[in-house]
Amino acid sequence: MITFPEGFLWGAATASYQIEGAATEDGRVPSIWDTFSHTPGKVRDGHTGDVACDHYHRYAEDVAIMADLGLKAYRFSVAWPRYGTPGFDFYDRLVDALLAAGIAPVATLYHWDLPQSLQDEGGWTNRDTALRFADYATGVYERLGDRVATWTTLNEPWVSAFVGYGSGRHAPGVRDAASAFTAAHHLMLAHGLAVSALRAAGAASISITLNLTPMLGDPEPVRLMDGLANRIFLDPLLRGAYPDDVLAHLRRFTDVNLDDLPAINQPIDVLGVNYYAPRHVRADPGAPGDAEYPGSEGIAIVPPEGPVTEMGWGVHPECLESLLVRLSREYPGTPLMITENGAAYDDKVDQDGRVRDADRVAFLDGHVRAAHAAIAQGADLRGYFVWSLLDNFEWAHGYHKRFGLVRVDYDTQRRIPKDSAHWYRELIAANGL
């Protein structure tokens, strides 16, 4: 049996646009994802987050499920489009319900649902958005800071910048390399300004969550792609400077204000790590490159070998172990938290009303063991959050990909805890495997 350190934080995660629904209720204003999902051809089968899992109305049922699983914490995101409206009261109700159930609320301030009004002014390509975000962070803290101890500024700024503004595969659907790099810089500035604002307001624990992607393959492509996926955020945030090679690459497309780096490089209490799969890359002079990695011409992303999830992502728990060890060695003194890890599989309800998702159980088991192995090698890992508590709106895939521990029937909104949920309950109760 493997046992985790005392006080290790076991949780599950969700995001506002993916589960809440109530898209037009109680004053909520449109977000870039409302606009994007309602644009024909952007989301599979025209799905939108208008209703999603109806968590806005069903949160009490969902908190009861969390309590039954024994979750120690719940990572949710606050919808910026609800801020300043009567609908923001929802978060008071949610936080109070969590605390009553003995579950620690972990709040993420931004999980991709930028108000459309800010996008109309340039979105993350507009430096003013970073300033507006710091004001928003302060306002949310004033409402919830007496009950929420842990605050995450941004979720996966790489996706916001390079998938939203580079390939356009996500909202706001912009395809421009210069805009992607500019957005990435302004997102980091937004983080730094929000950290300063939250500290001044009295926040106890502040973090940012990065989706970090180990690159495997030929050395030169690996270095370039690691710079574009990982070091472009890690180094400014934790070291106060862009890596020389990344900065030189960025300047092929645009320039950024390096005077912002001191504001970006604010001390954080924990680094959130979202891990799903590595990428395999190789040199290929004829490869056109990938718009999500601007300037990657001559590099091919190789399909994974071995088992894959429903997303087509390779299953490599050993890469989570090596990633955590790398972070602890290259950025020492930064506590780590796995803020998302999970897998989509095409699980079904059987004739007994049960969801037997053995593939997901095996995936989670392997990655939990990898996390424990990293701790044994000195990684200061404080917790693990499964993505996701619920099946939900999976962005451009609509409702076709199911990551949840709990199955959601989108026609009836019935919740069915899967076998993986029962497995996770036992893991939490034992604090180990």
Q: Which of 269, 280, 270, 306 is nearest to 385 (CA)?
A: 270
Is position 4 within any domain? no
Is position 161 within any domain? yes
pLDDT in tens, 65-103: 999 999 999 999 999 999 999 999 999 999 999 999 999
pLDDT in tens, 334-355: 999 999 999 999 999 999 999 9
Mean pLDDT, rounded, for 146-170 = 98
Residue count (the chain): 433
Where in the sequence is the domain holding 388, given as residue range(s)?
9-430
Task: State pTM to two decimals.
Answer: 0.98
For residues 211 and 156, the answer to whether their CB atoms sit within 8 Å is yes
Is position 107 within any domain? yes
Is position 2 within any domain? no
Is position 100 within any domain? yes
Average pLDDT of the chain to the nearest whole number = 98
The CATH number for 270's domain is 3.20.20.80
pLDDT in tens, 375-430: 999 999 999 999 999 999 999 999 999 999 999 999 999 999 999 999 999 999 99
Q: Is 173 left (phi over 0), alpha (psi -120 to 50) or beta?
A: left
Q: Catalytic positions, please? A: 156, 340
Is position 3 within any domain? no
Distance CA 110, CA 75 (A): 12
Distance CA 133, CA 187 (A): 9
pLDDT at 407: 98
Is position 1 within any domain? no
Distance CA 108, CA 206 (A): 10
Is position 310 within any domain? yes
Number of domains in the chain: 1
pLDDT in tens, 296-322: 999 999 999 999 999 999 999 999 999
Q: H or E segment at 17?
A: helix 16-19
Q: How far is CA 314 from CA 73, 109, 228, in A?
A: 28, 30, 20
